[in-house]
Amino acid sequence: MKTKITEMLGIKHPIICGGMLWLCKPDLCAAISNAGGLGNITAGNYDTGEELQAALRKTKALTDQPFGVNITLLPSFRITQETYDDYFRVCCEEKVAAIEVSGAPAKRYLDQVHEAGIKIFHKVGSLRHALNIEKLGYDGIFAAGIEEGGHPLNDDVTTMVLTPRIAESVKIPVVTTGGIADGRGLAAALALGAEGVMMATRFINTKECIVHENIKQEIINRQEQDTTLICKTLNLQGRALKNELTQKVLDIEAEGKDLERIFPLITGQRVKDAWNNGDVNGAAFMVGQSIGLIKDVLSCQELMDGMVKDAEAILRRNLERF
């Protein structure tokens, strides 16, 4: 399957892994890239540029295929402006294939990134943001619908509508994300005008993703209605698994914006611990509605080969209808 994205990034499958704090580390990243997609190292996993650099070098030792880095430019207690500068510097030094930016536009870094020969994409949840990103000179857009795990924009537009709206309005390639987990989603994304898909939630249920088996099983057991949007009242909504903890957050939010009670419940450390110890009620696990489509744990190779094969069969079958 050849698209503008496979050609631009030199990858076999038009499938990209989205940034996942605590999960997108060298082993998973290399497994995805070795299987023909674009793996992801999430910079926020590392407290310094040096630590990120070590992770990039470790990934290079595991794969000779292209991979990307997610840099989430949101106000953070943990990551300073200096560290963000270091993240970009290190990516340029290591010449990663692509950078996925989310949050604020990476205006001040664009020239530096392009001079290093790196492709830079921004994840957006609205047409107006996509138009701005194109104007700034980015190489492509990740169009993220409200179905996605993580922090969908509070415009609340679905992948189904956002993808064609952006694809018809910009000239740079669009990759769709939010709710994609199988070959049907890939075929649909191409039909909607995208050049590929980005997935994150589906990659949690792969053999190479280092989360506790309890969580993988919980994702299999749960259905599409089992996610919720927390922290809307803080203006940073996050789509997470419905569980005891997210219900507690929603209850506190309903009583008013009590940051002192909410923050301890949503700390990064709590999520990090729970991914590892398998306490399915212990944290706000960012997962998307695509959990309804996830029925197993596959290797990255099995997952992506199967998706492309299914998408090709679907597209062919539909051509035969005419």
Residue closer to ligand FMN, measured from CB, 184 or 261:
184
**What is the DSSP-derived secondary structure letter of residue 19?**
P
> How many angstroms separate the CA atoms of 24 and 16, rounded?
12
Q: Is 144 in the site for ligand FMN (CB under 6 A)?
A: yes
Q: Is 189 in the site for ligand FMN (CB under 6 A)?
A: no
Pull the structure tokens for residue 180.
């994609």
Instruction: State whether residue 90 is helix, strand or coil.
Output: helix
Q: Taking a C-beta distance cutoff of 8 angstroms, is the pair 278, 287 a contact?
A: no
Smallest gap from Cβ 76 to ligand FMN, in A, equals: 11
> How many angstroms separate the CA atoms of 223 and 217, rounded?
12
* Of the candidate residues 26, 68, 140, 149, the single one contacting ligand FMN (CB under 6 A): 149
Pull the structure tokens for residue 182.
């199988």
Q: Is 143 in the site for ligand FMN (CB under 6 A)?
A: no
* Of the candidate residues 26, 68, 173, 179, the single one contacting ligand FMN (CB under 6 A): 179
* Selection from 76, 20, 66 nearest residue 43 by Cα: 20
**Binding-site size, ligand FMN (CB under 6 A):** 29
Binding span for ligand FMN by CB under 6 A among 163-171, 214-222, 246-254, 285-293: 285-293
* Of the candidate residues 1, 4, 12, 21, the single one contacting ligand FMN (CB under 6 A): 21
| Triad 198, 118, 89: Cα angle to 5° | 110
Q: Is 185 in the site for ligand FMN (CB under 6 A)?
A: no
Q: Is 286 in the site for ligand FMN (CB under 6 A)?
A: yes
Q: Is 206 in the site for ligand FMN (CB under 6 A)?
A: no
* Of the candidate residues 33, 59, 83, 201, the single one contacting ligand FMN (CB under 6 A): 201
* Of the candidate residues 59, 72, 176, 206, the single one contacting ligand FMN (CB under 6 A): 72
Residue closer to ligand FMN, measured from CB, 144 or 167:
144
The number of angstroms, rounded, from the C-alpha of 247 to the middle of its chain's C-alpha atoms is 24
Neighbouring CB atoms inside 10 A of 47's CB total 12
Q: Which helix (H) or strand (E) segment is 150 a member of?
A: none
Binding span for ligand FMN by CB under 6 A among 48-56, 163-171, 223-231, 281-289: 281-289
Strand intervals (E) in 4-65? 15-17, 39-42
* Site mask for ligand FMN (CB under 6 A), range 114-133, x = bound: ---------x----------
Q: Is 99 in the site for ligand FMN (CB under 6 A)?
A: no
> How many angstroms separate the CA atoms of 281 and 241, rounded?
9
Binding span for ligand FMN by CB under 6 A among 4-12, 18-26, 111-119, 297-305: 18-26
> How many angstroms separate the CA atoms of 270 and 81, rounded?
24
Pull the structure tokens for residue 263.
């923050």
> How many angstroms separate the CA atoms of 130 and 311, rounded?
26
> How many angstroms separate the CA atoms of 204 and 185, rounded?
17
**Binding residues for ligand FMN (CB under 6 A):** 18-21, 23, 42, 44, 70, 72, 102, 123, 144, 147-150, 177-180, 198-202, 286-288, 290
